[in-house]
Structure 1
Amino acid sequence: MSLTSRALWTIDRNLSRELSLAGIAEACGVSRHHLAHTFREVAGRPVMDYVRSRRLSEAAVALAGGAGDILGLALESGYASHEAFSRAFRAQFGATPEAVRRRGSTKGLVLSGPVIAPSRTAPGLPPPRFASAGEILAAGLSQRCAFEDGPTITGIWRQFGPRFGEVENRVQPIPIGVVADPDDEGRFAYTAAAEVRDFFEVPGDLSRLRIPPRNYAVFAHDDHVSTIRQTYRAIWNDWLPDNGKTLADAATIERHRPTFDTRTGLGGLEIWIPLG
Structure 2
Amino acid sequence: MDRKALLLLFGATLAWSTSGLFARAIPLDTPTVILWRGLFGAAGLLVTLLLMKGRDGLGDFARLGRAGWFYALCSGLGMLLFVGSLKATTIAHVAIIYATVPFAAAALGWLVLHERPSRVAMAASALALAGSAVMVGIGGDGRLIGDLMALGMAAAMATIIVIARARPEMPALAAGIVSAVWAPLACLPFASLAGVTPGNVALMAGFGLANSTLGFALFIYGSRRAAPVVTGLMGALETPLTPLWVWLVYAETPSAATLAGGALVMAAVGWFILTESRTPQP
**Scaled by the length of structure 1, what TM-score is found?**
0.25
Q: Greater helix share, 1 or 2?
A: 2
TM-score using structure 2 length: 0.25
More strand by share: 1
Q: Which has the higher contact order (CA 8 A, sep 6+)?
A: 2
